[in-house]
Amino acid sequence: MTLRPFSLVMSLIGVLLITAACGAFEMQGGGGGNTRTSKKIVYATIFITAKKSGGCVANTVPGRIQLDKNDEIEWSVVDICDATDGYSKDVDIKNWSVVTGGNCTDGTQVPVDSAANGKRHIRRGLKAGCVNRIFKYQIWVETTILADPELEIAS
CATH code of the domain in which 16 resides: 2.60.40
Answer with the residue of higher pLDDT: 22 or 37. 37
Q: How far apart are CA 20 and CA 28, in angstroms?
A: 20
Q: pLDDT tens, 103-114?
A: 787 777 676 667
The CA-based diameter of the chain, rounded to the nearest angstrom, is 60
Full domain range(s) for residue 57: 6-26+47-153
The predicted structure's pLDDT at residue 82: 92
The answer to whether position 31 is within a domain reads no
The answer to whether position 34 is within a domain reads no
Q: What is the pTM of this model?
A: 0.69
Q: How far apart are CA 128 and CA 144, in angstroms?
A: 30
Instruction: Report the domain count for the chain.
Output: 1
